[in-house]
Amino acid sequence: MYDFVYKNKKLMQLILALIVLPFAFFGIDSYFTGGRGGDSVAIVGDYKITQNEFTEALRERQESLQRMAGGRTDPALLDSSELRFAVLDNLVQQRLLIERAVRAGLVVSDRQVQDIVSSIEAFKDEGKFSLARYEALLKSQGMTPVVFEDRVRQDMLTDHALHAFNVSTFVSRSEAANLLRISEQQRELSFFTLPVDRFLAQVKLEPDAVKKYYDSRQDEFRIPEQVRVEFVVLAAEALLAQMQPAAADVRKAYDENMKRYEVKEARQASHILIAAEGDAEAKKKARARAEEILAQVKKNPKDFAALAKQHSQDPGSAANGGDLGFFERGAMTKVFDDKVFSMKPGEIAGPVETEFGFHIIRLAGVRGGKAKSFEEARAEIETEMKRQMAARKFAELSEAFSNTLFEQSDSLKAAAELIKSAPQKSGWISRGSADNALVSNPKLMQAVFSDDVINNKRNTEAIEVAPGVLVGARVIEHKPSAVQPFDQVSAGLAKKLTLQQATQLAAQEGRAKLAALKEGKDAQVTWSAPQMVGRGDPKNIPVEALRQAFKADTEKLPSFSGVESAGGGYTLIRISKVQEAGEGAKDKQNAIGQTLRQVSGQAEAAAYLASLRKKADVKVRKDQVERKQ
């Protein structure tokens, strides 16, 4: 979807995190005080990214992932090295851009920051900015206006530093036209497959072939070191069931925060976008085109979705009949937003001009716009209070849990009794594979396979496998690494070698038939019924066959090609017709050009950041990045 859907997206995500996520900004002041002390995880020029700054950024990313996945994110993913280094890379890029913006003389005035802050709906009361609400919301999250506005200022500086790449990238019409032709072209294809099963009977393995293969590649048959473990889990989430806030406290929380329980009005709209790029004459033509479509829509409102699919140049919504889903006020560009929130359900309006072109808008529905009663909000308040109580209880138990695992290292019994949780047992696990997401955490795996835990039969330390989740484990069974006996693998290995040779025979015969076809000879091939397919409409054709079909030279038809099938065998392909993009598809050229400009701008921005990083001589302390708190 076009950028207007996410205008000021970065700043809005910041506010959403501020309002929705409790505890998201604990210690946030450290975010702006890198280089003032503490262990650094990276150095960017003269600036140090501190451990605290990195930890808070990581926590924000983890909570964001949890929120997007509805709390079902794999704990191993949330604490992986890949995520940690991705978060650090983002901090490094932000610092590089800020320093570059400052050197270039870019300035964000206090008035610009105030304009952004005062325009945020979360800080408004009855449609107007409320200083009291602003300060109260920040205070509830442990922030001050100075800290928050400093962060807004930094985000605006980084946006300014990258702005040129978003507006100056040039893409020629021929590039867009070529991509349109490639994406919309269709080819009429027929297939003939030589299945691998047909050649199995022809394979005669040498008597000692299987044994020779086994002896020469024993690492293929090596079973890695394995263990079975017993483990106990201390999780803040599991403590929720033990928490019960007092009824009076729940009522008090509602009375003191009634504004939080307002259900904001959201509207569902659909649109048809006619892009307008270039001079005044181009805009005039785009408006005329939009007015023509508007007339069609008003004549037959029920055809709105079909007309959106046919004419809209918004690639993100056109395929869905122009549907933008539900959104709150402020999510869209202002002109578009104002129009949508002035309409009645079922009303059609337009053309509405924005920086992206002319829009024909239909309002499909309205929801929200009223406050929840105490009874409606009770469950939500109780859940939030239980989480806060559970977080405090978790903090109290964490240190005792860690100490008990260490002090009574010959058993998990005492640690399990402390947290009132029965120990669990895993199946057989290896260093790179476990049957339980908690146990598969890399840090826990490293501890479980350590000499102290295996040979001395001691508990691991308490390891944080995810935010708010500690695990302690001990090994109950151990199997050293060993090569599987030949008798156990010989039958399966014989099948594997037979299949390999049958696949080679199928490919050999397939290539021979392909050569005959290209020479105009009879290859004794029975083709499947021809069908028109496109890159975006593959008709269930296997990926490797479709890719080969669109790589084939079609200067002379019919054209023939072939490819080895993924599951063995060989597939011959006949291209009998090529159909180029129709006139109607050319309406998509402007949208394709816009996408190409965005991609090109992103590539140039990435190259620019890489050059800044090289000049700044960035130093990363890997041990600090991977250090768990």
| pLDDT (0 to 100) of residue 175 | 64
The SS3 of residue 454 is helix
| pLDDT (0 to 100) of residue 24 | 30
Model confidence at 5, pLDDT cuts 50, 70, 90, reads very low
Over residues 312-316, the mean pLDDT reads 82
Over residues 48-75, the mean pLDDT reads 74
| pLDDT (0 to 100) of residue 9 | 40
Most confident of 73-82, 85-94, 403-412: 403-412
Q: What are the tens digits of pLDDT across the range 148-202?
A: 888 888 888 777 777 666 655 555 666 666 676 777 788 999 999 999 999 999 9
pLDDT at 590 over 80: no
Share of the chain above pLDDT 70, in %: 84
| pLDDT (0 to 100) of residue 589 | 62
Question: In this predicted model, which residue has the larger pLDDT, 31 or 77?
Answer: 77
Over residues 399-405, the mean pLDDT reads 94
pLDDT at 415 over 90: yes
The neighbouring-strand residues paired with 213 are none
For residue 186, the tally of other CB atoms under 10 A from its CB is 19
Tell me how far apart the alpha carbons of residues 54 and 262 are, in angstroms, rounded to a whole number.
34
Phi and psi dihedrals of 214, rounded to 5? -60, -45
| pLDDT (0 to 100) of residue 164 | 64
- What order of strands is seen across the sheet that includes strand 348-354? 323-328, 266-275, 357-367, 348-354
| pLDDT (0 to 100) of residue 449 | 93
pTM above 0.75, yes or no: no
The neighbouring-strand residues paired with 124 are 129
At 65, the amino acid letter reads: L
Model confidence at 26, pLDDT cuts 50, 70, 90, reads very low
pLDDT at 326 over 80: yes
pLDDT at 12 over 60: no
pLDDT at 15 over 60: no
The SS3 of residue 210 is helix
Model confidence at 379, pLDDT cuts 50, 70, 90, reads confident
Most confident of 77-81, 327-331, 348-352, 569-573: 569-573
pLDDT at 1 over 50: no
Tell me how far apart the alpha carbons of residues 371 and 324 are, in angstroms, rounded to a whole number.
25
pLDDT at 528 over 90: yes
Over residues 111-140, the mean pLDDT reads 81
Model confidence at 71, pLDDT cuts 50, 70, 90, reads low
| pLDDT (0 to 100) of residue 117 | 86
Tell me how far apart the alpha carbons of residues 129 and 118 are, in angstroms, rounded to a whole number.
5
pLDDT at 129 over 90: no
Residues ≥6 apart with Cβ < 8 Å to 346: 301, 362, 363, 364
The SS3 of residue 552 is coil
Q: What are the tens digits of pLDDT across the range 544-572?
A: 999 999 889 888 999 999 999 887 899 99
Q: How long a stretch of residues is the chain? A: 629
pLDDT at 14 over 70: no
| pLDDT (0 to 100) of residue 27 | 29
Greatest CA span in the chain, whole angstroms? Answer: 90
| pLDDT (0 to 100) of residue 74 | 62
The SS3 of residue 328 is strand
Over residues 260-265, the mean pLDDT reads 75
Over residues 10-22, the mean pLDDT reads 39
Q: What are the tens digits of pLDDT across the range 447-485?
A: 999 999 999 999 999 998 888 889 999 999 999 999 999
Contact 574, 548 (CB under 8 A): no
| pLDDT (0 to 100) of residue 304 | 92
pLDDT at 222 over 80: yes
Model confidence at 30, pLDDT cuts 50, 70, 90, reads very low
Model confidence at 7, pLDDT cuts 50, 70, 90, reads very low
Tell me how far apart the alpha carbons of residues 96 and 609 are, in angstroms, rounded to a whole number.
8
CA quadruple 14, 16, 17, 18: dihedral, nearest 10: 80
Q: How many CA atoms lie within 13 A of 602 on its CB side?
A: 6
Tell me how far apart the alpha carbons of residues 419 and 423 are, in angstroms, rounded to a whole number.
10
Select from 483, 527, 444 the least CA-distant residue to 230.
444
Over residues 431-458, the mean pLDDT reads 86
| pLDDT (0 to 100) of residue 629 | 52
